[in-house]
Amino acid sequence: MAFKHITSRDNPVFKQLKKLADNARERQREGLTLLDGVHLIEAYLQVFGEPQLLIIPEGKSALEATQLMQQLQDVNTMMLPTLMFAELTPVAASTGILALVKKPTIALPEAVHFALMLEDIQDPGNMGSMLRTAAAAGVQVVYLSKGCTDAWSPKALRGGQGAQFVLPVVEQVDLSATLTAFQGKRYAMTMHGESLYTQDFKTPSLFVVGNEGAGLSPAVINATDQAITIPMANASTLAVESLNAAAATAICLFECQRQRM
């Protein structure tokens, strides 16, 4: 293991890490990303093996981070001043360890019977939460529009908590063409449609979720077979006019799973 203590922001390795933390194009170009936290790094380890580099802050690390470093004692490690380390982390309360890893490629299933499509989801935390829910519900593949936030950003990865390591995520998708090609029923999640609970999801199903504020575009809705909605109590009041996109996605996906169990 090589150990380096970096204290300058002009260090080329730190500069690269900062670009990876901040820039989706850099992550795409280099095929690399940063993982924040013990749980996320352990999830990566279970599927893909050791990271390329560990990054830790000066000072005492959390016990779980120290134990992970001992487990990965053959991995090159970089120590940074606390403020420089904080520039790379997606959250204020980090567990005190980051890992530089290669973005994995997950094989697509031969036949898709349960899929999720996201249009222009902007919040990386929402993105990660939706992917985590999709993985837990048994979704086989998630399609992301060109307007979606990067699924491999540190914030989206932290929200996904390992979902991106087991769930095929297809980015920069032409939604209309993908909807046309899907061999099954395509459902648009909207504010006005038939009740989610009157649908039969035992056949191949694809759910489409729209932007947190604007919802689905008319073109995407028109390319689906059925608009569906989640019935809500007191839906006429502003406070419960609509559900958070991630919450609505979870309800729909687990209703599909419930029917198939």
pLDDT tens-digit readout, 16-29: 999 999 999 999 99
Least confident of 40-54, 189-203, 235-249: 235-249
214 domain residue, yes or no: yes
Are both 153 and 225 inside the same structural domain?
yes
Gap between the Cα atoms of 120 and 222, Å rounded: 17
> Quick check: is 108 in a domain?
no
Q: Is residue 97 located within the same domain as residue 128?
A: no
The model's pTM is: 0.90
Tokens 């694809």 label which residue? 206
SS3 206: strand
Residue 158 near residue 179 (C-beta atoms within 8 A):
no
What are the C-alpha distances in Å from 130 to residues 28, 169, 200, 210, 223?
A: 21, 12, 22, 12, 22
Examine the domain organization and report whether 167 and 70 are in the same domain.
no
131 shares a domain with 58? no
Q: Are residues 118 and 219 in the same domain?
A: yes
Q: Which residues contact 85 (CB under 8 A, 6 or more apart)?
A: 55, 56, 57, 58, 94, 96, 98
Same domain, 98 and 120: no
CATH of the domain at 128: 3.40.1280.10
Is there a domain that residue 30 lies in?
A: yes
Pick from 205, 185, 193: which is nearest to 254 by CA? 205
Residue 162 lies in a domain: yes
Q: Specify the CATH number for the domain of residue 53.
A: 3.30.1330.30
- Quick one: 246 and 141 in the same domain? yes
Tell me how many domains the chain contains: 2
**Rounded CA Rg of the chain:** 20
Give dist(CA 63, CA 169) in Å, integer.
33
What digits encode the pLDDT tens for the residues 202-234? 999 999 998 877 789 999 999 999 999 998 876
Q: What is the C-alpha separation between 257 and 235, in angstroms, rounded? A: 25
User: Around Cβ 11, how many Cβ atoms within 10 Å?
Assistant: 15
